Amino acid sequence: MSAHGSMPRSAWVFPTLAVLFFAIATALDWTFTHSATGLAYALIVLVILFGTVFAAVHHAEVIAQRVGEPYGTLVLTMAVTVIEVAVIATIMLGEKEVPTLARDTVFAVVMIVCNGLVGICIMSGGFRYREQDFQITGANVYLSVLIVLATITLVLPNYTLTTSGPFYSVAQLAFVSCVTLLLYGVFLYTQTIRHRNYFTADSDDGEAHAISNSELWMSVGLLLLALIGVVVLAKKFSVVIDATAMAIGAPPAFAGIVVALLILLPESVAAIAAAKRNQLQRSINLALGSSLATIGLTIPAVSVAVIVLKKDLVLGLSPREMVLLVMTILVSMLTFGTGRTNILFGLVHVLVFAVFLFTAFVP
């Protein structure tokens, strides 16, 4: 979908279908089973869910064109974060509790975004333009915040003494949640007000496109409808994930990877399209911004839920995953340390992402 021109029919059809399908499936108690009818159910859920996600990105892009950068990127990031929290909370706190889902999803998001998405964006832009420029200062801000957030939420739980294992105590979890929210809030202030120029290229600084008020408010309403559609279908989608994992003998991290891929679809489409338009700065804003939002907002939101409901929340990564996280951060620091990219940088990130996927299924 594109934000340019008239609104495509799918931009309003899929959000409407998502809400209607949920209402009908709930009323008829239609759920996934290992049968031909169950397979049809799974296909319908997946098609409607993915279509609704792409509808969300279209409306977020329309809003982004009206408000300009970096606010436009922030709109899409926040929309995706709402989807992420809803899906994680629905699956993790459902009938079959999955205390590792938040950790697996957050780690998968960091790996997918900082390696897979960044690599594809750099390679696609590099093939077309050879080299692309971006703001080094803005990239450094992203990475500095990401390093702190990733360390205190995914690594430090393995080394605390109050509780054994990859857990935080209730007091520690509350403190870390407050710290992550504070740091992410200050980052948003820096990105949108204090040092906005760090996150805009010369070509899009203050850029805002001619979108009428009627188009803007229609997209706002349909974006909200699309987000509601994704949220209500999350429970239906979780049943399909569980059944698929059992059928193929997938590892425990499979659900986290699938959820991460789903919620990153909007930003991935927008980021790759921006790189092809020689707007690598926007691609970086979308990619690295989603990583920060995932940790800075998702972890506190899930933490509140588990504290109130007195559930377990596993956060600490395994040694293998910590190695991948450290390698990702080091490679990202080198990639974003020059202000210019080429296809080799992109290939390095894509290969690290391939290692992550392979070791997830063949640990």
The Cα–Cα gap between 303 and 308 comes to 9
Give the rounded percent of residues in the chain with a pLDDT score beyond 90.
29
3 in any annotated domain: no
Examine residue 38 and state whether it is found in any structural domain, yes or no. Answer: yes
Q: What is the per-residue pLDDT for 92? A: 67
In whole angstroms, what is the distance from residue 234 CA to residue 152 CA? 28
Residue 234 lies in a domain: yes
Residue 232, pLDDT score: 79
Does the pLDDT value for residue 46 go beyond 50?
Answer: yes
Q: Cite the beta strand spans of the chain per DSSP E.
A: 132-133, 340-341
Q: Is residue 285 in some structural domain?
A: yes
* pLDDT for the residue numbered 2: 47
Q: Report the half-sphere exposure of 347 (CA within 13 A, side-chain side).
A: 5
Predicted pLDDT at 169: 92
Please tell me the distance from the alpha carbon of residue 242 to that of residue 252, in angstroms, as a whole number.
10
pTM above 0.85, yes or no: no
Q: Is residue 191 situated within a structural domain?
A: yes
Q: Which of 104-113, 198-207, 309-318 is the least confident region?
A: 198-207
Q: Distance between CA 262 and CA 272 in Å, rounded?
A: 16
Q: Is residue 354 part of a domain?
A: yes
Alpha-carbon torsion angle 82, 83, 85, 87, nearest 10: 160
Measured CA to CA, the distance from residue 50 to residue 84 in angstroms comes to: 14
Of 54, 69, 66, 74, the closest CA to residue 8 belongs to: 54
Number of neighbours of residue 13 by Cβ within 10 angstroms: 14
pLDDT tens string 197-214 = 888 765 554 444 567 778
The pLDDT of residue 325: 96
Write the CATH number for 228: 1.20.1420.30
Q: What angle do CA 272, 118, 235 make, to 5 degrees?
A: 75
Whether 89 shows a pLDDT value over 80: the answer reads no
The larger pLDDT score, comparing residue 73 to residue 236, is at 236
**Tokens encoding 258:** 């699938």
Residue-level pLDDT at 93: 63
Which distant-in-sequence residues (6+ apart) come within 8 Å of 310 by Cβ?
none
Cα-only R_g, the chain: 20
Q: What's the mean pLDDT in 161-170? A: 88
Distance CA 317, CA 304 (A): 20
Query: Residue 1: inside a domain, yes or no?
Result: no
Helical packing angle, 118-129 and 319-335, nearest 10°: 30
**Mean per-residue pLDDT, 173-195:** 91
Q: Report if residue 4 sits inside a domain.
A: no
CA distance linking residue 306 with residue 304, whole number of Å: 6
Domain residue limits at 225:
10-361
Full 3-state SS string of 55-87: HHHHHHHHHHHHHCECHHHHHHHHHHHHHHHHH
Distance in angstroms (rounded) separating the CA atoms of residues 62 and 75: 10
For residue 170, what are its two tokens?
Answer: 């209730």
Q: What residues pair up with 341 in beta bridges, in sequence order?
A: 132
Q: What angle do CA 21, 235, 113 make, to 5 degrees?
A: 105
Q: In the prediction, which pLDDT does 95 show?
A: 60
Element (H, E) at 309: helix 299-309
Domains: count for the chain: 1
How many Cβ atoms sit within 10 Å of the Cβ of residue 283?
30
* Peptide bond before residue 266 is cis, with ω within 30 degrees of 0: no
User: Is the CB of residue 316 less than 8 Å from the CB of residue 103?
Assistant: yes
Q: Which residues contact 218 (CB under 8 A, 6 or more apart)?
A: 7
Distances (CA, A) of 355 to 123, 151, 274, 323, 329: 18, 21, 26, 11, 15
